[in-house]
């Protein structure tokens, strides 16, 4: 299964084209270093939450859009090597000198896939999730997520990935742990469900919510759902 580097970024809405160009340019370089895929999702259906949400995770301003993105590597060793090469590459250094967003508020980390299920068709829309899970509940969460992945595929999802925090650094302003108000003994999960388009996703969700297999048992939930946040993102880059 893939090793995933996940990101959440607040991008000035007016800088969408600049952001896309920089992402595309960086993807070209990172593929030289072994990256298999980069996906950039532009915030489309990103609700505000009572406890946590994507906007709060990156302290997004009113004129900014939240971007949910990830890179896929074949393994952690390739990820580690790519990050070292990236920091030394003059092309990447030049890109970092002219960022179209506030990099201090971007959150990122490395995650090991624990569920990776593929359906059929292309992916042009994604639901993204970030949540805290107690370390002792890793297997219980994986089992629950694997069952849910089968249901998502039945309703048209083209890929479901659940990735367990492995290299999730503390930030000075924002980070994944603060984003979900992680407690001692909890880890962060970065996950996404890909769809062929928004229409398929919108049609699927009412059916998923009514499906008996997806109705949770409050006494057996392996994580605190109130601190999970999610949203829908349109793919602006898949390279």
Phi (first) and psi of residue 65, to 5 degrees: -115, 140
- Which residue ranges form the domains of the chain, and what is each CATH number? 3-238 (3.30.70.100)
Whether pLDDT at 134 is above 90: yes
* Nearest-10 Cα torsion for 117, 118, 122, 128: 0
Whether pLDDT at 217 is above 90: no
The strand pairing partners of 112, in sequence order, are 3, 164
Q: Is the dihedral of CA 56, 42, 126, 176 positive or negative?
A: negative
Q: Tell me the per-residue pLDDT of 70-104, one tens digit each, with 9 for 90 and over.
A: 999 999 999 999 999 999 999 999 998 889 999 99
């Amino acid at each position: 299964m893939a090793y995933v580097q996940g990101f959440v970024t607040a991008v000035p809405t007016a800088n969408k084209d600049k952001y896309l160009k920089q992402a595309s340019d960086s993807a070209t370089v990172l593929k030289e270093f072994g990256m298999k895929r980069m996906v950039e999702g532009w915030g489309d259906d990103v609700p505000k939450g009572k406890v946590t949400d994507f906007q709060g995770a990156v302290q997004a301003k009113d004129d900014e859009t939240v971007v949910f993105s990830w890179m896929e590597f074949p393994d952690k060793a390739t990820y580690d090597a790519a990050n070292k090469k990236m920091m030394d590459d003059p092309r990447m250094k030049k890109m970092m000198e002219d960022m179209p967003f506030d990099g201090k508020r971007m959150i990122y980390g490395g995650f090991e896939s624990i569920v990776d299920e593929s359906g059929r068709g292309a992916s042009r829309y994604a639901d993204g999730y970030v949540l805290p899970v107690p370390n002792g509940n890793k297997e219980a969460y994986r089992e629950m997520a694997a069952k849910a992945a089968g249901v998502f595929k039945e309703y048209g999802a083209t890929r479901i990935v659940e990735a367990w925090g492995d290299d999730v650094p503390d930030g000075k302003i924002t980070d994944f742990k603060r984003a979900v108000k992680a407690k001692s003994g909890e880890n962060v999960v970065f996950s996404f469900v890909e769809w062929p388009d928004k229409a398929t996703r919108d049609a699927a969700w009412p059916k998923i919510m009514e499906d008996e297999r997806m109705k949770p048992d409050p006494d057996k939930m392996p994580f605190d759902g109130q601190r999970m946040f999610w949203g829908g993102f349109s793919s602006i880059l898949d390279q």
